[in-house]
Amino acid sequence: MPAITPLLVAQVVIIVVVFHALLLSAAAMVWVERRLAAALQQRSGPTRVGWQGLLQPFADVIKLMFKEELRPKAADALLFGLAPIISAMCAFSAFAVVPFGGSTTFFGLLSEPMKLQVADVNVAVLVIFAIASMGVYGIVLAGWSSNSKYSLLGGLRSSAQMISYELSYGMALASVLLLGNSLSLTEVVNGQAGYWFHVIPKWFIFVQPVGFLIFMTAGVAETNRAPFDFPEAEQELVAGYHTEYSSMSFAMFFLAEYINMVTVSAVATDLFLGGWYGPFLPASLGWIWFLIKVGALLFFYVWMRWTLPRYRYDQLMAFGWKILLPVAVVNLLATAAGVLYFGV
């Protein structure tokens, strides 16, 4: 048993806070998504439960809890139960290595500053990538184990889509890592401190605009969001991989999707938008900037879903392999050449 030190307590507090913040962010995203969608379509959306409908997500959760847990007779019982757990677990654990603020002593409570991060891993970027590649198994297994043709098609599409877009995603990541000169997210964020000409913040998005676009496009595809939501395309596949799921196991897929969105936005913030660096606020309140930037990206996510129609499946594949990947490769090569020529 390690001794109970203030540092240990602070670590546990951070873990608990991050876990609940993720849960709450998913609930908040459900509300934002519904209200924003309504606003974009000139409706009002949910307004009855709580002020402005803010308690609607909680009402939904209670409704889901009391629903019957159904399982098709022909389903593979073990994998059918395991699939939503894999999805939710991967979604939660990916955020563990994402830093969301600079070092702090919590107003002098700790003797030495600690990082605002659950686990400081020196290959953080790769860990996120690895966990994201595990998350796809939740969807694929859900599709297969349901023993229904719609689910199977959804699972197949999901795996094909993941394979196609993971490459571009990795290339975009790699070009930022070249600039940050490290695999640790904290180091990459610290490389973006300061300003050019006292005005423009040194965010990597200004050096890597193409990389940012590739990262976000591939990120949308990885999280199965519109206009790339093929695994669940409701007009073609009923509900895709989670057609046969109900009650809380459906809720877990739902939760995983929203948390993955939050994680992709948080990683993009750390990699391209300067993380917790921003003007006006003191360094100890940097996490507020982080939240603002993540919120902006999440808004963009929802905005995009209700603006762009879904692509056709072959368009998705052609776009991923024939446009996005070559652009990502050229971008990576150009970045490498630039880093060699100008230095970091």
Partner 1 sequence: MTLFYLFGAVAVIASLLVIAQRNPIYSVLLLIASFGALSGLYVLLQAPFVAVTQIIVYAGAIMVLFLFVVMLLNAPHEETEHDEKIHPLRRPGPMRFGAVLAAVLLVELLWALTRAGSEGTAFPGADVISVRAIGKALFTDYAFPFEVTSLLIIVAMVGAVVLAKRDTRRGGAPAPPTP
CA–CA distance, 307 with 6 (Å, rounded to integer): 48
User: Residue 195 pairs with which residues in a beta bridge?
Assistant: 201
CA–CA distance, 343 with 40 (Å, rounded to integer): 46
Listed ranges 24-32, 61-69, 123-131, 268-276: which one lies at the site for partner 1 (CB under 8 A)? 123-131
User: Tokens 């997210």 label which residue?
Assistant: 185
Minimum distance from residue 122 beta carbon to partner 1 (Å): 7
Residue at 65: amino acid letter:
M
* Contact between 156 and partner 1 per CB under 8 A: yes
Listed ranges 44-52, 161-169, 187-195, 201-209: which one lies at the site for partner 1 (CB under 8 A)? 161-169
Residue of 121, 210, 288, 291 that binds partner 1 (CB under 8 A): 121
* Contact between 130 and partner 1 per CB under 8 A: yes
Backbone angles phi, psi at 255, to 5 degrees: -60, -45
Residue at 115: amino acid letter:
K
* Contact between 60 and partner 1 per CB under 8 A: no
Minimum distance from residue 131 beta carbon to partner 1 (Å): 8
- DSSP secondary structure, 236-267, as one string: HHTTGGGTT--HHHHHHHHHHHHHHHHHHHHH
CB 101 within 8 A of CB 283: no
Closer CB to partner 1, residue 159 or residue 284?
Answer: 159
* Contact between 122 and partner 1 per CB under 8 A: yes
* Contact between 99 and partner 1 per CB under 8 A: no
Minimum distance from residue 78 beta carbon to partner 1 (Å): 9
Q: How many residues does the chain have?
A: 344
CA–CA distance, 205 with 193 (Å, rounded to integer): 13
Residues contacting residue 89 through CB under 8 Å, at least 6 positions apart: none
Closer CB to partner 1, residue 43 or residue 149?
Answer: 149
* Contact between 154 and partner 1 per CB under 8 A: no
* Contact between 178 and partner 1 per CB under 8 A: no
Closer CB to partner 1, residue 230 or residue 290?
Answer: 230
* Contact between 210 and partner 1 per CB under 8 A: no
CB 34 within 8 A of CB 46: yes
For the purposes of burial, counting CB atoms within 10 Å of the CB of 247, is it exposed (0-12), middle (13-18) or buried (19 or more)?
A: middle
* Contact between 64 and partner 1 per CB under 8 A: no
| The CA-based dihedral angle spanning residues 31, 117, 130, 240, taken in that order and rounded to the nearest 10 degrees | -10
CA–CA distance, 14 with 323 (Å, rounded to integer): 41
* Contact between 287 and partner 1 per CB under 8 A: no
User: Binding string, 212-251, against partner 1, x = CB under 8 A?
Assistant: ----------------------------------------
Closer CB to partner 1, residue 141 or residue 205?
Answer: 141
* Contact between 127 and partner 1 per CB under 8 A: yes
In the 8-state DSSP scheme, what is residue 50? S
CA–CA distance, 86 with 209 (Å, rounded to integer): 34
* Contact between 152 and partner 1 per CB under 8 A: yes
CB 208 within 8 A of CB 171: no
User: Binding string, 65-94, against partner 1, x = CB under 8 A?
Assistant: -----------x--x---------------
Interface residues toward partner 1, by CB under 8 A: 76, 79, 121-123, 126-127, 129-130, 133-134, 136-137, 140-141, 143-144, 152, 155-156, 159-160, 162-163, 166, 183, 314-315, 318
